[in-house]
Amino acid sequence: MDFVFVIVLGALWGSFANVCIYRLPLEKGVVSGRSFCPNCTNLITWKDNIPVISFLLLNGKCRKCKKKISSQYLLVETISILFFLIIYFLYGISVTTLLLLILSLNFLIIFFIDFKHYIIPNVLTFSMMFLGFVKSFIPDLHPMFPNYLNSLIGGIFGYGIIWSIIFFYKQVRKKEGMGLGDAKLLSAIGFWFGWFSIPFVIFLSSIIALLSVAPSLINKSRKFSSQIPFGPYIIVATLIYLIFESKIRLIIFY
C-alpha cells in the first residue's frame, strides 16, 4: 500500500514538474492558471489531466484538436515515479528521503529545460544552493551529505571551477564557452554533496558529453563550436556519483 501511495505521489509531482518545464522558460507563474493544450489553447479538464493515465487513454492526443501531445509529458511523469520509488525503497520514511525527492524533482526540471532551451533558471539553482547548505546543519543525516564546512567549500569550489573554465575560454577564444547556469548548478551540487563530489562530477560529465556529441562531430552534422546543453550531463554524472558515492568516498579519504 505504501508503494501505491509513493507511485501516486511521484506521478503528481511529475505532473507539476511538467508544468515547470513548460512555464519557467516562458517566465510564467507555475501555480497561476489551469493547464491548457499548447496547440489549441483549450483548457484541460481534470479527467484529461491525470498523470500517465490520461496520456495513455487519449493515445497521446488532445481531446479537442486531436494534435499529438509531446511524449515528454509521459516520460517526465514516469521518471518522477521511478525516482520516488527508488528513493523510498532505499531510505524509507526519513529526512534523507524528503531531501532527495526535492533534489530529484529539481534535477528533472533542469534536465529537460536545459536540454530544450539551453538555460537553467536561477530560481531552481539558487533554491538548491540554499537548501543544500541549510540541510548541512541538520543532525544525523545520511553520510552522503557533508557537514556545513565541506558544503560551503563544495559550493564555492563548484562555482569557481566552471567560472574559471568560462574565463580562460573567453580569454583564448574571445567568446563565451559555457554559461553561468552550469556554474550555479555545479555549485548547488557542491553544497549538497561536498567538495569531494566536484572533481568526479565535472570529469564524468565532460566524458559523457564528449561521447554523446562525438558521432555528430565525426559525421560533421555538428561543429566543435556548436552549443550543447551541459546541465543534463552534470545531472547524469551526479546521479552516477550518488550510486557509487560510498566507494568514491573510501577512495578519496582512505
What is the rounded CA–CA span in Å between residue 58 and residue 71? 12
Task: Please give the pLDDT value at position 137.
Answer: 94
Task: Please give the pLDDT value at position 134.
Answer: 96
Mean confidence (pLDDT) of the chain: 88
Q: What is the DSSP string of 31-52?
A: SSS--B-TTT-PBPPGGG-STT
Show the low-confidence residues of the chain (pLDDT under 70).
Answer: 32-33, 173-178, 217, 220-226, 248-254
Task: Please give the pLDDT value at position 171.
Answer: 76
Task: Please give the pLDDT value at position 220.
Answer: 67
Task: Please give the pLDDT value at position 67.
Answer: 82
DSSP H/E element including 185: helix 180-193
DSSP H/E element including 245: helix 245-253
Task: Please give the pLDDT value at position 252.
Answer: 57
What is the rounded CA–CA span in Å between residue 244 and residue 254? 15
